[in-house]
Amino acid sequence: MRILAISGSARLNSTNTAMLRAIGAIASSDIEVSIFDGVGRLPVFSPDLEGESLPEAVRDFIDVIAKSDGVIIASPEYVRSIPGGLKNAIDWLVSGDEIVHKPIALLHASHRGDDMLAGLRTVLATITDRFAEDIFLRLPLMKLDPAEVLRSIETAENRSRVQAYLHAFSDYSRADAETA
């Protein structure tokens, strides 16, 4: 199972990116988690740049989406909404078919952010027919530095929760692929 984990943050020391890296580090051997932390490096979406004019960074992003078996998204909330960089990344995907049947689930690193999560759920349910709304994990990691995030994820309780989440998403993704 190849999971692409997208961080919705453009921050260098993002809690969400650190959480995704930590989850990748403890994933079981049958689940490969790769991280995309480049939402801040994608150019602003414009339909004029699609097709043959597609920027290389966007082409690379779309390629990693296409090669994954499923996508996990972890994002902060900015002004009670989806961060602009993440929304921009999603906008680059809507004209193609790489995301339409791709299993997607959410992961969240804060006790807050419900407004952003509601908006993101609406967007994801619009762009894919395989949004796994019921597969969700929230970990209280806000304001921890990357080393503290890793230590928190490695605790027995969180490790167990993460493993259950990854396996539930893996099972969902495989079941959907078999019926597609």
List the CATH number of the domain containing 14.
3.40.50.360
In a domain, 50, yes or no: yes
pLDDT at 179: 56
* Domain annotation covers residue 180: no
Give the pLDDT mean for 129-138: 97
If one counts the domains in the chain, the total is 1
Q: Which runs of E-coded beta strand occur in 15-149? A: 32-36, 70-74, 104-108, 131-138
Cα–Cα distance measured from residue 165 to residue 109, given in angstroms and rounded to the nearest whole number: 14
Please, which pLDDT band fits residue 175 given cuts at 50, 70 and 90? confident
Identify the burial level of 120 via C-beta atoms within 10 angstroms of its C-beta, where 0-12 means exposed, 13-18 middle and 19 or more buried. Answer: buried
Q: What's the pTM value of the predicted model, to 2 decimals?
A: 0.95
Q: Indicate whether 114 belongs to any domain.
A: yes
The answer to whether residue 77 is domain-embedded is yes
Half-sphere exposure of 40 (CA within 13 A, CB side): 10
Burial class for 178, CB neighbours closer than 10 Å (0-12, 13-18, 19+): exposed
pLDDT at 136 over 90: yes
Residue 19 pLDDT > 80, yes or no? Answer: yes
46 within domain boundaries? yes
pLDDT digits (tens, 9 = 90+) for 74-125: 999 999 999 999 999 999 999 999 999 999 999 999 999 999 999 999 999 9
Distances (CA, A) of 31 to 50, 122, 133, 161, 166: 32, 27, 20, 15, 8
Domain of residue 71 covers 2-175
In this structure, is residue 89 part of a structural domain? yes
* Residue 151 lies inside a defined structural domain of this protein: yes
Q: Can you tell me the distance from the alpha carbon of 70 to that of 4, in angstroms, rounded to the nearest whole number?
A: 6
